[in-house]
Amino acid sequence: MEEKKELLFLDHITMKFGGLVAVNNFYLKLLPGELVGLIGPNGAGKTTVFNMITGIYTPTLNRIYFQGKDITGLRPDLIAKIGIARTFQNIRLMVNLSVLDNVMIGFHLHLQSNLTSAIFKLPGYMQEEKNIYHKSLELLKQVELEEFKMEKAGSLPYGQQRKLEIVRALATQPKLLLLDEPAAGMNPQETKELMDFILKIQKDFDLTILLIEHDMKVVMGICRRIIVMDYGITIAEGNPAEIQRNPEVIKAYLGVEANYA
Amino acid sequence: MGKKKEARYTILALIALAILVYFAQNNLDDYKLRILNISAIYVTLGVSLNLIFGFTGQFSLGHAGFMAIGAYVTTLLVLPPWYKEMIFIIKPLIWPFTIIQAPFLIALIISGIFAAGAALLIGLPVLRLKGDYLGIATLGFAEIIRIIANNIPQVTNGALGIKGIPEFTNLYWSVGVAIFTIYIVRGLISSSYGRALMAIRENEIAAEAIGVNLTYHKVMSFTLSAFFAGVAGGLFACLISTIDPKAFMFTMSYNILLVVVLGGMGSITGTVLAAFFYNFFLEYLRSVEAGFSIGPLTIPEIPGLRMVTFSILLLLVIIFRQQGLLGGWEFSWSRLINIIKKIFFHQRATEGGNG
Ligand SMILES: Nc1ncnc2c1ncn2[C@@H]1O[C@H](COP(=O)(O)OP(=O)(O)OP(=O)(O)O)[C@@H](O)[C@H]1O
Ligand SMILES: [Mg+2]
């Protein structure tokens, strides 16, 4: 038997919504440590791929494997527990909670203490809480959000909310990180910082990253391998140079731009 | 201000409260004591509803149902067997109630457990669903409990109700249970589990994506909430000494909801203040409702004035201050001291409260 080294394996998965085939026969093997870009025009099916991996949708056809185990249709919280974290295209923070709380919540899934020791603040729990607090501060420092720790998450500017969401995902201690358009709404300076940040966390946290992004500078700048989707189908795959001169890709993107023109 | 100092102030305040309760219990007349007791019971009810509704974001209208369960269980446990056999006239009381009797404390705990069990039965199937089904389900549940109470006279004495329940509830009990409830709910809310509950309230999809088991946390919050409502029901029965199914109509759940919304969803401090405000104001309106005269001017009786006033108040809050009186604000000593400093010494607050 062939040895399976890949971290994530999407075995020709398909997602249909009624008559619409949002994702068709999608195939992907992610090796540990890879940073792969997933691009494509609006409505291509990129977010749907994320939603299938994270258990929000169950593929209509075929299966998903993580570290060799079939995880198809597993509940989202259990997906997080086995080490897959994500951010959302439309930021989903706990806007009325503090910046710090948003990060600390990310550690909840690994909490050992039971409910009783948490309510009565027994020593075991207090130790864990202290660790969570310090680790959360540490994470906030990395994105320079430490000084805003007591602010409401919703009061942060857009770019910082995106960073906070990434940091919250990191708090769950993932092996695989799925980023859905992290640069959306960021100015060029923030985007530049974000690229460095993604590379840095990939190294520091030993992450495998799958990145959806519309900003080509970001994708071309940090991904060695890029997958292009259009209408639910993978139309190209390769390194940035190959993608840039692929006629299918040019057609798909020009088609879209022509629509906007 | 350090955690130690906060704790010391809290202990001092509790001692002061205990002295106050002692004097109130020994010096006030029955009427005033009754209002204070009811208010304290409302604190327990409001804080427990705030747990599931204010902190977890799950709309629940079933508190009257859980109270009813608690009230009947406590009643059946504290009454002596000979008395129960005597008053059950529609149908004889069934075993095991004919032989058991328990002390008040045990009866209250068992009441809470029964209410929590009922919550588990509703919560497990309903809270699994995505969407706001708990409100409808609990509304139905509370009605069903009331109808069952009406129709199993061999347990509840039916519509006749049960009279002569020993009046065990005094300020020690009602205030003690309220403080215990606050202690537990605060302990939960300020823990990692509490953060998970608030995460669910804020954004269910995000909470689940970072590993919060939605069903477990919702059911846990709902069950704990029902436990306290059950205990409050027991206190209530042993305060008013008479219960019948009519005592636990929808308006009861509505009143508790009112207290939570007025005080501020997600604020324990707000609920406590609103519970007392509601019951004091209610008594005041009762005198207005009965009609009165100022000199030659006579204001006639205005039936229903109380409900109308509170409903208008609720509307005003919903329109002008959705977060309630205190919003998510929570009392802590350092915050109180900061406020006092600001008012009296015009000092700039130096310490941000983080207790
Ligand atoms: N829950 C759903 N029900 C019905 N259709 C859906 C659902 N989710 C996605 N779709 C459809 O599936 C297709 C792919 O959507 P998806 O969100 O995956 O695109 P995307 O590549 O992420 O696009 P964008 O770049 O705009 O984010 C779209 O046509 C979308 O309308
Ligand atoms: Mg998308």
Distance CA B182, CA B44 (A): 8
Q: Using the CB atoms, write b or e for B272-305: b if 16+ within 10 Å.
A: bbbbbbbbeebbebeeebeeeeeeeeeeeeeeee
Q: Does B322 touch chain A (CB under 8 A)?
A: no
- Residues 6 or more apart whose CB falls under 8 angstroms from that of B155 comprise B72, B76, B93, B94, B97
Q: Does A256 touch chain B (CB under 8 A)?
A: no
Candidates A92, A100, A173: best to mutate against B (most CBs of B within 10 A) is A92
Q: Whose CA is nearest to atom 12 of ligand 1?
A: A22
| DSSP one-letter string for B221-278 | HHHHHHHHHHHHHHHHHHHHS-B-GGGGSHHHHHHHHHHHHHH-TT-HHHHHHHHHHH
Q: Where are the domains of chain A?
A: 1-83+174-261, 98-170
- Whether residue B40 lies inside any domain: the answer is yes
A224 to chain B, minimum CA–CA distance in Å? Answer: 27
Question: Chain B residue closest to A169 (CA)?
Answer: B210
B187 to chain A, minimum CA–CA distance in Å? Answer: 4
Candidates A115, A121, A148: best to mutate against B (most CBs of B within 10 A) is A115
Give the A:B interface size as CB pairs under 8 Å. 100
Model-level ipTM above the cut of 0.90: yes
**Closest ligand 1 atom to A51 CA:** 18
**Chain B residues within an 8 Å CB radius of A85:** 209-210
Distance CA B264, CA A141 (A): 33
**Chain B residues within an 8 Å CB radius of A167:** none
Whether residue B223 contacts residue A118, with contact meaning beta carbons closer than 8 Å, is answered with no
Q: Does A100 touch chain B (CB under 8 A)?
A: no
Number of domains into which chain B is organized: 1
- Residues 6 or more apart whose CB falls under 8 angstroms from that of B91 comprise B153, B154, B158
C-alpha A153 to ligand 2 mean position (Å): 23
**Closest ligand 1 atom to A23 CA:** 14
Tokens of A197: 């940040």
3-state secondary structure of A98: strand
Task: Tell me the per-residue pLDDT of A183-228, one tens digit each, with 9 for 90 and over.
Answer: 998 899 999 999 999 999 999 999 999 999 998 889 999 999 999 9
Q: Does B207 touch chain A (CB under 8 A)?
A: yes
CA trace torsion B287, B292, B295, B298 (10° rounding): 150
- Whether residue B3 lies inside any domain: the answer is no
Contact B206 A106 (CB under 8 A): no
Contact A119 B187 (CB under 8 A): yes
Whether the predicted pLDDT of A2 surpasses 70: no
Q: Which of A54, A97, A129 minimises the CB distance to B209?
A: A54
**Which of A15, A20, A42 is the pocket-test mutation for ligand 1 (most atoms within 8 Å of CB)?**
A20
Whether the predicted pLDDT of A80 surpasses 90: yes
The residue behind tokens 């005033």 is B32
Q: Name the helix (H) or strand (E) containing A256.
A: helix A247-260
**Which of A10, A38, A47 is the pocket-test mutation for ligand 1 (most atoms within 8 Å of CB)?**
A47
The residue behind tokens 């350092």 is B334
Distance CA B212, CA B80 (A): 47
- Whether residue B340 lies inside any domain: the answer is no
Distance CA B67, CA B56 (A): 20
Whether residue B243 contacts residue B158, with contact meaning beta carbons closer than 8 Å, is answered with no
Sheet containing A69-70: give its strands across: A20-30, A8-17, A61-66, A69-70
Distance CA B14, CA B8 (A): 10
Distance CA B193, CA A254 (A): 50
Contact B210 A150 (CB under 8 A): no
Q: Using the CB atoms, write b or e for B29-50: b if 16+ within 10 Å.
A: eeeebbbbbbbbbbbbbbbbbb
Domain that holds residue B234: 18-250
- Whether residue B318 lies inside any domain: the answer is no
Fold of A1-83+174-261: Rossmann fold (3.40.50)
- Whether residue B198 lies inside any domain: the answer is yes
Compute the residue count for chain B. Answer: 355
- Whether residue B320 lies inside any domain: the answer is no
Whether residue B144 contacts residue B68, with contact meaning beta carbons closer than 8 Å, is answered with no
Whether residue A210 contacts residue A38, with contact meaning beta carbons closer than 8 Å, is answered with yes
Whether the predicted pLDDT of A174 surpasses 80: yes
Q: Whose CA is nearest to atom 16 of ligand 1?
A: A45
Question: Chain A residue closest to B181 (CA)?
Answer: A119
Contact A108 B198 (CB under 8 A): no
Q: Which of B211, B214, B220 minimises the CB distance to A109?
A: B211
Distance CA B274, CA B41 (A): 12
A77 to chain B, minimum CA–CA distance in Å? Answer: 4
Local confidence pLDDT in tens for the 355 residues of chain B: 677 888 888 888 899 899 998 998 898 999 999 999 999 999 999 999 999 999 999 999 999 999 999 999 999 999 988 888 888 877 777 778 777 889 999 999 999 999 999 999 999 999 988 778 898 999 999 999 999 988 888 888 888 888 989 999 999 999 999 999 999 999 999 999 999 999 999 999 999 999 999 999 999 999 999 999 999 999 999 999 999 999 898 888 999 999 999 888 889 999 999 999 999 988 888 877 777 777 777 777 777 777 788 888 888 877 777 777 676 677 777 787 777 777 777 655 444 444 3
Contact B212 A77 (CB under 8 A): yes
3-state secondary structure of B197: helix
C-alpha B205 to ligand 2 mean position (Å): 16
Q: What backbone phi and psi angles, to 5 degrees, belong to B169?
A: -70, 120
The residue behind tokens 């109180």 is B336
Distance CA B231, CA B228 (A): 5
Q: How confident is the model at residue A3 (pLDDT cuts 50, 70, 90)?
A: low
C-alpha B201 to ligand 2 mean position (Å): 24
Long-range contacts of B82-85 (CB under 8 A, 24+ apart): B83/B164
- Whether residue B290 lies inside any domain: the answer is no
- Is the sign of the CA dihedral B124, B125, B126, B130 positive or negative? positive
Task: Tell me the per-residue pLDDT of A127-137, one tens digit each, with 9 for 90 and over.
Answer: 999 999 999 99
Q: How confident is the model at residue A4 (pLDDT cuts 50, 70, 90)?
A: low
Whether the predicted pLDDT of A1 surpasses 70: no
Strands A35-39 and A208-212: parallel
**Closest ligand 1 atom to A214 CA:** 25
Q: Among A226, A227, A212, which Cα is nearest to A178's?
A: A212
Q: Name residue A230's beta-bridge partners.
A: A233
Q: Whose CA is nearest to atom 7 of ligand 1?
A: A17
Whether residue A241 contacts residue A249, with contact meaning beta carbons closer than 8 Å, is answered with no
Ligand 1 binding pocket (C-beta < 6 A) is A 17, 20, 22, 40, 42-48, 89
Q: Which of B202, B205, B352 minimises the CB distance to A97?
A: B202
Alpha helices in chain B (DSSP H): 3-27, 30-49, 63-78, 81-87, 104-126, 134-151, 153-156, 171-189, 192-202, 204-209, 214-240, 250-263, 268-289, 305-320, 333-340
Strands A233-238 and A225-230: antiparallel
- Residues 6 or more apart whose CB falls under 8 angstroms from that of B76 comprise B84, B97, B155
Whether residue B184 contacts residue B231, with contact meaning beta carbons closer than 8 Å, is answered with no
Whether residue B309 contacts residue B284, with contact meaning beta carbons closer than 8 Å, is answered with no
Q: How confident is the model at residue A259 (pLDDT cuts 50, 70, 90)?
A: very low
Task: Tell me the per-residue pLDDT of A83-125, one tens digit each, with 9 for 90 and over.
Answer: 999 999 999 999 999 999 999 999 999 999 999 999 999 999 9
Candidates B192, B217, B329: best to mutate against A (most CBs of A within 10 A) is B192
